[in-house]
């Protein structure tokens, strides 16, 4: 469950742009050509292509040429690593949030007195 690490950069990075999230949402309704995907956006085609390439590179979509058009489609399992990471965060967080005030109190009262070996 740590094999995804490298890919998480690309996945979360791909999701960090509204154009790309829009493309993904649209592809949920089925595959679409580059031109179709461009429709809702004002930007020029080459820019949209760059987003598509980035999505492809992240593994979130795949594309295929049919004649002169390129059809893009979702790779539905591609989001799983991101969901796993988020779940893991929740697991780690479990029941540990209430330690916050206690921790800060500890910092203010005990300071370094009892940890003489803690440096750097």
Separation in Å, CA 20 to CA 41, 54, 68, 75, 91: 11, 9, 23, 14, 29
103 forms part of the interface with a second copy (CB under 8 A): yes
Q: In what order do the strands lie in the sheet with 32-33?
A: 32-33, 69-74, 61-66
Q: Mask 61-80, x = binds a second copy (CB under 8 A)?
A: -----x--x-x-xx-x--x-
Binding flags for DNA, 51-90, as an x/- string (CB under 7 A): xx-x----------x-xxxx--------------------
Scanning 28-110, the segments in alpha helix (DSSP H) are 34-38, 45-58, 80-93, 99-110
- Using CB under 7 A as the binding rule, whether residue 102 contacts DNA is answered as no
CB distance 49 to 34 below 8 Å: yes
Closer residue to DNA in complex, CB, 45/86: 45
Binding residues for a second copy restricted to 35-64, rule: CB under 8 A:
39
Whether the CB-CB separation of 37 and 26 falls below 8 Å is answered with yes
11 lies in the site for DNA, by CB under 7 A: no
Least Cβ distance, residue 50 to a second copy (angstroms)? 17
| Binding residue for DNA, selected from 2, 28, 46, 83, defined by CB under 7 A | 46
């Amino acid at each position: 469950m740590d094999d995804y690490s490298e890919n998480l950069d690309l996945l979360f990075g791909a999701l960090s742009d509204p154009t790309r999230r829009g493309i993904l949402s649209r592809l949920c309704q089925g595959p679409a050509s580059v031109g179709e995907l461009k429709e809702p956006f004002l930007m020029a085609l080459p820019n949209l292509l760059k987003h598509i390439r980035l999505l492809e590179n992240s593994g979130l979509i795949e594309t295929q040429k049919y004649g002169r058009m390129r059809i893009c489609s979702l790779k539905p399992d591609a989001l799983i690593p991101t969901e796993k990471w988020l779940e893991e965060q929740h697991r780690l967080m479990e029941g540990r949030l209430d330690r916050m005030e206690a921790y800060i109190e500890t910092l203010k009262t005990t300071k370094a007195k009892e940890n003489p070996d803690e440096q750097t």
